[in-house]
Structure 1
Amino acid sequence: MKLNLDLFEGEREKTIIRVTSYQQQLKSYYDKRVKVRQFQPGDLMLRKAFITAPRHGSKKMNPNWEGPYVISRSGGRGSYTLDTMDGKQIPRQWNAHHLRKYYP
């Protein structure tokens, strides 16, 4: 019985090493292909519309993007503070994942 428990511990350690190695391979594969979005203050942006829309029913014909907005400052780690074209600040920060460059 004791021999079987020692074998289980060895198998468990091998499995942990194998899983960790696999996760590192997946991370490196993802990191090679991810596109980092960085924007500068003053850039014109669109933001996703469904984030600010109320949750009661979706309308198929509603636009997917709102804007344009101007980036006023970067909050770090991919977050940005937006201003309207009139200069009014939007109350919260927005992640770069939910923003898209606007080309007039």
Structure 2
Amino acid sequence: MTTPRISARKLRRYGSEAVLPVEIGQPSASVESYPNSNYQTRAIELDLVEEKRDRAAIRMKAYRSHIMRSYNKHVWSRDFQVGDLVMKKVKPVGDVGKLEARWEGPFKIIQRVSSGSAFYLEDSQGHSLKRPWNAFHLKKYYA
């Protein structure tokens, strides 16, 4: 008489076949003689799982707020309004020396793009620039 076989795909893990323990169907003598105090300890641990999860969630929230504060400490806020005078970053073309101007302007903000961080600009002669400029490439002009 042969024992029923489980498919090799289910048993195969990391290149070897799994061995099913006998205790699944019939408990061994060592399992039956195990002290009941372990079951009580396990029940207490299961009761405390929610508290441990709550403490972990509080620690994660504190960690995230710490990371957010340290990140925001180094972020420069660039809030521009329509009508503000700004300077725009010069895009280097060809051979640019270290004494070349990095900013040009002033330009006047004439419209904010719907995304909120891009602006259409107008130069001092009243000619508007063809494309919008991201706030990252602009800085406030102080006269």
The verdict on a shared fold, with TM-score over 0.5 as the criterion, is yes
Q: Deviation per CA, 1:18-55, whole angstroms, max 9, x where unpaired? A: xxx8xx94973565333331201110000011x2x42x
Runs of 4+ in 1 over 6 A off after TM superposition: none
Q: Equivalences for 1:73-84 in 2 at 5 Å?
A: 73-75=111-113, 76-84=115-123
Partner Cα distance (2:71, 2:98) in 1: 34
1:28 maps to a residue whose letter is M
Q: 1:90 maps to which residue?
A: 129
**Is the strand fraction higher in 1 or 2?**
1
Q: Which runs of 5+ in 2 are unaligned?
A: 1-11, 16-59
| Cα distance change, pair 87–30 in 1 and its aligned pair in 2 (3 A) | farther
Higher mean alpha-carbon deviation, 89-98 vs 27-36, is at: 27-36
Higher RCO (CA-CA < 8 Å; seq separation 6+): 1
| Cα distance change, pair 27–91 in 1 and its aligned pair in 2 (3 A) | farther
Number of aligned residue pairs: give it: 83
Q: Which runs of 5+ in 1 are unaligned?
A: 5-20
Partner Cα distance (2:116, 2:136) in 1: 11
- Which of 1 and 2 has greater Rg? 2
Query: With structure 1 as the length reference, what TM-score do the two structures score?
Result: 0.66
